[in-house]
Structure 1
Amino acid sequence: MLLDGPTIASLTARLSEVDRRRAARYPGGRGGRQPVHTCYVPASQIGPSTPREWGEQALAAMTEHGFDLSKDLTERVKAKLAREPVEDLRIDFEDGYGAPSTEDDDARYAAGCLVRWHAEGIAPYSSGLRIKSFDTPALRDRAIRTLDIFLETLRDLPPGFVITFPKVTAAEQVEVFAELLEVLEQRLGWPTGSLTFEIQVETTQSIVDSEGKLAIPAFITAGGQRVVGLHYGTYDYTAAVGLGAAQQNLAHHAADFARHVMQVSAAGTGVRLSDGSSNVLPVGDTAQVLAAWRVHYGLVRRSLEHGFFQGWDMHPAQLVSRYAAVFGYYRESLESDARRLAAYAARANSADSGGVLDEPATAQALSASLLRSVDCGAATAEEITQATGLHLDVLRAYHRRAAS
């Protein structure tokens, strides 16, 4: 005799609260486009046409030094640099900026430039600023003042605006910062929750707290829906764990450990991940530039293969190796990904399960990769539709796992 409904209900009643907590904590991936990079530009170097200038400098470097790419990939990278060279940009008031006495004026000027970029149609897909950390009272006061001036100068919040919160060491810092943003929204008359931020993971305390617990889950809880990203800080973190200068790089196992913690902590929460930077800049003669591009290209590919689809760029010429690596990564797998997704879609409507039997989770991953390739310009929507036989709306449904 089968169990009756009341018996089952009494046994499972307490799981309803577990279900509620899990749904609230792990709503799934964040929809929409994720930039492939974040370009950090010191506030003192910001000007009326910075995004366009980065593209022009990258194209000039590519023309002068060349890069060993296929004709198709070369044309795609050049087109990207001319059309949308910068996808995401942070106006930096922290490490890359220092502490000049002109910070008030720089904050006003840089915010005015951001307004102008949007008015002229050259603004990146997303943008914002990195403030100083909350490490000491002096830094906290300076960070809050700069942010206050910057936001007041904007007057209206531009689309895709995000704030970078660096060197976090305690959940209480995140909690206070989230409360500060609410106060600023109220003062400026902006909707509650409109100001969001990403946490920089660049201290040992942002990986393991003083009680031996993983720290990031508490950070995400403290910031709530305002936390939209976790950005790995290569050099501060590797220095903090005691590595020598020669070992402070993205490919070190210590960096892999930090990134794995970031992945596990953020999985299913909708909080996105970004890798750090390479300090080997493509400057100097052709041999030096090509060597730096090869290093950066390899690191970008490594990040992509580890599930980090965004990273930092610190110099205009790094855009060349960034897009070469990203476009090559997506185009190399495009045909096979499209074929597998098309086969999955066909099997979903038939009883035939021949060949590789992909799971819904794999269909989600295949769709995500193809959609990212369109977002960044590695492929067109028409190419993806032709290759899969599926409209992008179907891919988005698979990505949300709304289709079976």
Structure 2
Amino acid sequence: MSRQERVTTSLAGSVSREISARLAPVDAELERRYPGDPGTRQPVHTVYVPGDAFAADTIRSWGDQALTLLDQHAPDAASFAAVLGLADELAGPVYDRVRAKLEREPIEDLRVDFEDGYGARPDAEEDETAARAARLIAAAYEKGTAAPYMGIRMKCMEAPVRDRGIRTLDVFLTGLMEAGPLPDGLVLTLPKVTYPEQVTAMVRLLEAFEMAHGLRPGRIGFEIQIETSQSILATDGTATVARMIQAAEGRATGLHYGTFDYSACLGVSAAHQASDHPAADHAKAIMQVAAAGTGVRVSDGSTNVLPVGPTSKVHDAWRLHYGLTRRALARAYYQGWDMHPGHIPTRYAAVFAFYREGFEQAAARLARYANRAGGDVMDEPATAKALSGYLLRGLDCGALDIAEVARVTGLTRADLESFATPRRADLTISAK
């Protein structure tokens, strides 16, 4: 039997109470500014479709075009794996899951574009296109054929196009309201944001719409697109993007990196504008740190190299896109843009390979943590949060099945979610 120690203290209880009183404003500020990840599904990509090209069958058409490209240029698991350099044990599971995903849910997040992909049109034409987008999206949700997330990218808040962007958003949202309640998967994107005041203007705009329709305050959120150098670094040397998150007053859902506008803003020549350029890495690192803990998610940009033409060209484009996607995933950018149906086979291949190749180790490690079984790594609550988040992302996109996760971990999805969203205090206590 160990000796029972005599415990003595020197400080009066009032000391702790006084310190807590002094830190109460900080405690409240932490909760307000850093609520943590929302725990909802994050799509692995966003597909941009010009407003005039968006149709009722766009999602199914993209899936069919992607399947056709696979049939033409990689008709089986072995040929696809050879193109991408997949390990033998991954070839079959990844290929089968990619084809199943393209048949079941080819697009996870779709944005009808009224900005660069649409351009300047007569007002009457853009009005009609926005109303049509609202009608088609509302119908897709009603029929069950919608992507999990859908919405529009309006024009920005800069003076030359501000009124047009506001009107397009109004037409679109009003059309959705006329068709029924706003869909849960509604997502809006505000592009080319340079000053926090432009974010605040978007907040006021959405407040006005919510008041006009009796919606719950804060019901409508939006993504902030980072496409200018000023959105990363302000004239006083501070990180503008951090101020933008606060200017959104809790409505910001994502920060999306705009590869080509941002690169051009810095003077990067067209041949070197890519998501793995050092300038891109710097911008996304700032975005990532600014967003950490706020509940705002970061998305990578896109590649403009399309998988079209002869098989050799398609394979080259696939390898490039696969490599960029894997690189982004390793850097914790779990979402990116896809600009062509030919990009989605390699998007899903990269995502599925990323989660499947690390699944067994992550699941076993989390199981040891949950069972306090020890092992060769001493994990803490923060690591358990990362491990469970990894498994949940794999489940959400279809890379993993709940049965195989349960087999290795002995945990339910609810268990995973409890580890992925721990109380703030838990993260400061090491696992014993």
TM class by shorter-chain length? Answer: over 0.9
The equivalent residue for 2:42 is 34
**1:50-104 per-position Cα deviation (integer Å, ceiling 9, x unaligned):** 1111111111111111152212211110000000000000000001111122211
Match of 1:211 in 2: 236
Instruction: Kindly indicate whether residue 378 of structure 2 is the aligned counterpart of residue 370 of structure 1.
Output: no
After TM superposition, the structure 1 = structure 2 runs for residues 5-404 of structure 1, keeping only pairs within 5 Å, are: 5-66=13-74, 68-69=80-81, 70-101=91-122, 102-136=125-159, 138-155=160-177, 156-347=181-372, 353-402=374-423
CA drift of 1:354 comes to 4.2
Distance in 2, matches of 1:338 and 1:365, equals: 11
* Matched-pair contact (CA < 8 Å) for 2:368–2:375: no
Q: How far off is 1:225 after superposition? A: 1.4
Displacement, 1:37? 0.4
Quote the offset at 1:401 in angstroms.
2.1
* Maintained 8 Å contact 1:37/1:311: yes
TM-score of the pair, normalised by structure 1: 0.96
Deviations 1:27-54 (A, max 9, x none): 1111111100000000010111111111
Contact 1:89 1:128 in 2 (8 A): yes
- 1: distance between equivalents of 2:55 and 2:332? 34
Secondary structure in structure 2 of the residue aligned to 1:224: coil
Please say if residues 132 and 142 of structure 1, whose CA atoms lie closer than 8 Å, have aligned partners that are also in contact: yes
- Check whether the contact 1:30–1:272 (CA below 8 A) recurs between aligned residues: no
| More displaced 10-residue stretch of structure 1: 38-47 or 103-112 | 103-112
How far 1:12 sits from its partner (Å)?
A: 4.7
Question: In the TM superposition, what whole-angstrom CA distance separates every residue of 1:275-316 from its partner, at most 9, and x where no partner exists?
Answer: 100001111111111111110000000110000000000111
> Is the Cα–Cα contact under 8 Å of residues 202 and 232 in structure 1 kept in the other structure?
yes
Amino acid in the other structure paired with 2:56 = P
Q: TM-score, normalised by structure 2?
A: 0.90
Q: Distance in 2 between matches of 1:343 and 1:300?
A: 30
CA distance in 2, matches of 1:242, 1:93: 25
Distance across 1 between alignment mates of 2:21 and 2:214: 43
8 A Cα contact 1:38 1:89, kept in partner = yes
Counterpart-to-counterpart distance in 2, 1:77 and 1:177: 37
Q: Which amino acid aligns with 2:171?
A: I
How many percent of aligned residue pairs carry the same amino acid?
Answer: 50
Counterpart CA distance in 1 for 2:204 and 2:39 is: 25
Contiguous gaps of at least 5 residues in structure 2: 1-8, 82-90
Instruction: Answer whether contact 1:42 1:97 (CA < 8 A) is retained.
Output: yes
Q: Write the distance in 2 (CA, Å) between the matches of 1:306 and 1:238.
A: 19
Structure 1 unaligned spans of 5+? none
Separation in 2, partners of 1:52, 1:182: 34
Tell me the amino acid that sits aligned with residue 95 of structure 2.
Answer: T
Structure-2 separation of matches of 1:314 and 1:189:
36
**Partner Cα distance (1:11, 1:392) in 2:** 39
Deviations 1:315-357 (A, max 9, x none): 111110100000000000001101111111121xxxx544211
- CA-CA distance at 1:192 after TM superposition: 1.8
Q: Secondary structure at the match of 1:264?
A: helix
When the two structures are aligned, how many residues end up with a matched partner? 399
Aligned equivalents of 1:268 and 1:11: distance in 2? 25
Amino acid at match of 2:343: Q
Equivalents in 1 of 2:19, 2:148: separation in Å?
Answer: 50
Which residue does 2:3 correspond to in 1? none
Query: Which amino acid in the other structure matches residue 294 of structure 1?
Result: R
Q: Deviation of residue 226 (structure 1)?
A: 0.9
